[in-house]
Amino acid sequence: MLQLTVLREQTDFVVAALNKKNYKNAAQEVAALLELDQQRRQVQNEHDELQSRANSIAKEIGALMKSGEREKAESLKSETSELKQRTKTLAEQLSAIEDEIQKALYKLPNLPHESVPAGRTAEDNEVVLQHGEIPTLHAGALPHWELIKQYDIIDFDLGNKITGAGFPVYKKQGARLQRALINFFLDEAMKAGYMEVQPPILINEASGYGTGQLPDKEGQMYHATADNLYLIPTAEVPITNIYRDEIVPVDKLPIKNAGYTPCFRREAGSWGADVRGLNRLHQFDKVEIVQISLPEKSYEILEEMSSYIQSLLQKLELPYRVLRLCGGDMGFTSALTYDMEVYSTAQGRWLEVSSCSNFETYQANRLKLRYKTESGKTQLLHTLNGSALALPRIVAAILENNQTPDGINMPKVLHPYLGFEKIG
RNA sequence: GGAGAGAUGGGUGAGUGGCUGAAACCAGCAGUUUGCUAAACUGCCGUACUGGAAACGGUACCGGGGGUUCGAAUCCCCCUCUCUCCGCCA
């Protein structure tokens, strides 16, 4: 959530930034918000003043009652009734205005960082770098959805039977590969100084609001209505919400957490050839890294996180590229996002396997996640996170890129985790 | 799921209608004393909104929401959560 003071003090800048994110009617909405803010303060001033008078009269009555001057007290009482009525009306107005402001603020996305390229779609994303050689496959090489059948390691039909489309069953070396990747990613995160956490995978409404999934994006999450809980779409939600309503001591910063969770996405309305196989699932596994940092350090940390994620891809020997997302393609809550994509050779396309973002104060403002400056002022921290990594597309790329006519070679770093070197 | 008890500031915990934004203690911060450490002493020590250049004010907040009252941490109603006992159970 954007801060009202920023809208107030840097209105033109905010409007320009919203425009860059292709937000419609930015100028009008911001102007309307400022108007509401103006009203709010006026009403609040009036209200506070009346309340203040009511408070002092109440005190007076108390004193009179004590000294036994009942009649004077009674006459004062009658004086307050009109005051009370007016205060009540103002209080109602005030909370109506506050609600409206809140709603309007929730609607506004985060402002993109100055380095974010302008643009509307994925076409406009900027390729920051590309790394690794794209392998040449043997004749008759298969896409991963054929390979998993051939070696019987991931079973979509079974998942269909048990749950539905997009919930595969991993079997044998396929299951082992999942476990190996999770352990590898977590071990690497520990080495990089992250603290491992294992959060709940169901979250309440407050947590959904904290990181920006609610309101308006409940459609992407599975909702357990009996208890009003949501299955997490990413570990970002529970892990970041650990720090909701916190004032973090400066010497604890930056906070670096990593956690493995399954993730659940309804992905309503997405079908087609490019979502075949492991490309898009309703349930998948992911190790997420989250950092909470001082505002002045957050972009340095974003780079650090980006290199860390790249180091994983390098160790897995996967060709990848890094994109800086354009204003139109980035997430609602993000100020700057890098996407990491691996090349899936049999499909001949890049697959997103990580998204690494700086949210600046946008989430922190909703979370009330703050620190105290040296002068004692409470200020919002910055939150960041990245996938490190999401498994399914990594698996797809490993299977496709490393296939040979007589089996699929596993990346060396995984051998100790797998207990085998080759599938088939 | 049943029965009971409870939810107060960073922590412990007092407070059953006005003198309580909230005692006391602990932790924390600043200082005095001290050869150093320790101890002792003094002061400070919640959050948000808001007025003000500032000094300094105003309002709200004692789990959340509503109500009674001139006045609510304190009384009433609803909700949530925690604890204890019972039941069930990985």
* Nearest nucleic acid nucleotide to A376, CA to C1' distance: B29
* Nearest nucleic acid nucleotide to A54, CA to C1' distance: B70
The CA distance from A85 to A87, in Å, is 5
**Average pLDDT rounded to a whole number, residues A53-82:** 84
* ipTM score over 0.90, yes or no: no
The CA distance from A193 to A224, in Å, is 35
* Nearest nucleic acid nucleotide to A98, CA to C1' distance: B49
Helix residue ranges per DSSP H, A21-155: 26-66, 70-107, 144-151
Query: What values do phi and psi take at A175, rounded to 5?
Result: -65, -40
Strand B contacted by A51 CB (< 7 A) = yes
Domains of chain A: 4-107 (1.10.287.40), 122-423 (3.30.930.10)
DSSP-derived secondary structure for A141-178: ---HHHHHHHHT-EEHHHHHHHT-TT-PEE-HHHHHHH
Strand B contacted by A81 CB (< 7 A) = yes
Residues of chain A with pLDDT > 70, as a percent, come to: 99
What is chain A's alpha carbon radius of gyration, rounded to the nearest angstrom?
Answer: 27
pLDDT at A70 over 90: no
The CA distance from A336 to A326, in Å, is 9
Question: Is residue A349 within 8 Å of residue A328, measured between CB atoms?
Answer: no
Protein-proximal nucleotides of chain B (any atom < 7 Å from a CB) = 18-19, 47-51, 58-60, 70-71
Strand B contacted by A415 CB (< 7 A) = no
Query: What values do phi and psi take at A223, rounded to 5?
Result: -115, 120
**Average pLDDT rounded to a whole number, residues A167-178:** 97
How sure is the predictor about A272, in pLDDT bands with cuts at 50, 70 and 90? low
Residue whose pair of structure tokens reads 């009525």 in the numeric block: A85
The CA distance from A35 to A97, in Å, is 11
In the structure, how far is the CA atom of residue A249 from the C1' atom of nucleotide B27, in angstroms?
14
Average pLDDT, chain A: 92
Task: Lowest mean pLDDT of A84-93, A114-123, A315-324, name the range.
Answer: A84-93
* Nearest nucleic acid nucleotide to A87, CA to C1' distance: B59
Strand B contacted by A370 CB (< 7 A) = yes
**Average pLDDT rounded to a whole number, residues A275-300:** 94
Q: What is the pLDDT of residues A352-406, one digit of tens each?
A: 999 999 999 999 998 888 888 877 778 899 999 999 999 999 999 999 999 999 9
